[in-house]
Chains A and B, each alone.
Chain A
């Protein structure tokens, strides 16, 4: 039996028209922006399946762009995403693409920063505003943004994970889920830590200081 809370029924507060084509899309864009972590110069959206066919009618384009600019699913500026993007000089492009055997509402977002750093994030909007992040660059991942999430990019070496959990434990942060994804032994890996509580800048700083860690992205739990 599916579980519901009171605010799953009365809520979320969102920008219409569609929880999967609008609200979910904002979320994917937002998470991609947080993972990239640098100011964005150019963004390309590769739209698959139903997203590719219906994105203009449903406002999925404006929703994705809004997320990348840091708006959340209840932000009334979503409607004006194009003019806001233009005013800050953001280059954006929507491209229809076949992303393979994936959910019909899938998008791959490629973000490029001024310094030339490129990040690719692939995610699917799976209904009711719920999403799944499926890929970061070439690494398959799986998380949904329902919890406050840490995404750590690190060299695959012994002791890194212990270092991170030690910092969290010291600050009595409870870990709900933790998953490790890597391509090959000894290369870059991604650790996804989903937590019950928010963390402070100080905790984030301490985690960033753990040896072999390259990047840390922090995403607060979203209402949707």
Chain B
């Protein structure tokens, strides 16, 4: 079994009458020789690390700081705890979770790269907020993580998951596609609906460049993770409502790969274009890494 595309994944799930997470278990059993229980246990460890990384940045007592960011998650929490949220409490909480994980990453804390360290806020944020809203169990989240991994595997095989290769669309875009598919499946949507959600995510931020100030995963990365989180949630909502992506998943992934290849090197993690190249971006770089 070697699933290489969305079409292959759909036909596998159809044939075996299984959800995507089940296909992921079958795939990994063959890939690594691990048993189903080992796979689920290992995923549980990752989920625990994710939960801790969310809690840390929201904790009043903690003071986690990178070079340029820190304290944003806490600020947002204080705001939605005492005000009516502009985007609704579910969304507002979710983006505070994403901010927290990225702050933990920037302050040399422990995170789960998913698919990368730079985009590690999206999946935990979306999954935890969905868990809270729908009272899901950890077991459901483990399944969601497996669903999302299958989407990531297909994107990785046909396009890219790294900002240096494909821009931020490949990191935060992929993370949101993965998260959206997971939500759809956790809430009872079909495999097809899950892939529609993933397609919508990739389309929504296609072409997004990678331009980290001073080469550090902080600016604009923290806020990119919040748009990735929102992107996943709105796409999942649309797919669950029966809205479809007009362009099929595999074609969207192909398009994203083409766009990534067309992107100039200065917009692919080299910190030479985009917001990294602005006067403020340059000044910050000079302050943080005077020799670079």
Contacts and interface: CB of A to CB of B under 8 A. Distances in A.
B149 A10 contact: yes
B113 A11 contact: yes
Given A9-B152, A127-B162, A16 B291 contact: no
A14 B111 CA distance: 6
Contacts of B168: none
Contacts of A157: none
B116 A2 contact: no
A16 B42 contact: no
A169 interface: no
B115 interface: yes
Contacts of B164: 127
Interface in A28-74: 52-54, 56-59, 62, 74
Contacts of B108: 15-17, 22, 59, 62, 78-79
Contacts of A10: 43, 46, 112, 114, 123, 145, 148-149, 152
B146 interface: yes
A199 B291 CA distance: 45
B266 interface: no
Contacts of A128: 116, 162
Given A16-B217, A17-B117, A58-B215, A6 B27 contact: yes
Interface of A: 1-19, 22-23, 52-54, 56-59, 62, 74, 76, 78-79, 127-129
Contact of B153 (A4, A23, A57): A4
Given A1-B157, A16-B104, A16-B108, A53 B115 contact: no
Given A8-B156, A16-B120, 4 more contacts: A5-B153, A9-B153, A16-B104, A16-B110
Contacts of B43: 6, 10
Interface in B35-56: 39, 42-43, 45-46, 49
Interface centre among A52, A58, A79, by most chain B C-beta atoms within 10 angstroms, is A58
Contacts of A129: 113
Contacts of A5: 28, 31-32, 153
B18 interface: no
Contact of A16 (B32, B111, B123, B161): B111
Nearest to B156: A4
A13 B47 CA distance: 10
B216 interface: yes
Interface string B265-292: 0000000000000000000000011011
Contacts of A22: 108
B170 interface: no
- Chain B interface size, as a band, is 35 or more
Contact of A6 (B39, B105, B111): B39
B28 A13 contact: no
Nearest to B155: A9
Interface string B184-198: 000000000000000
B106 A17 contact: yes
Contacts of B162: 127-128
13 contacts: A1-B4, A4-B156, A5-B32, A6-B24, A6-B153, A9-B152, A10-B43, A10-B152, A13-B45, A17-B105, A17-B108, A59-B108, A129-B113
A76 B109 contact: yes
Contacts of B109: 15-16, 76, 79
A196 B110 CA distance: 28
Interface centre among A8, A10, A13, A62, by most chain B C-beta atoms within 10 angstroms, is A10
A2 B288 CA distance: 35
Contacts of B42: 7
Contacts of A14: 110-113, 117
Contacts of A17: 66, 105-106, 108, 117, 216-218
Nearest to B104: A16
B107 interface: yes
B289 A54 contact: yes
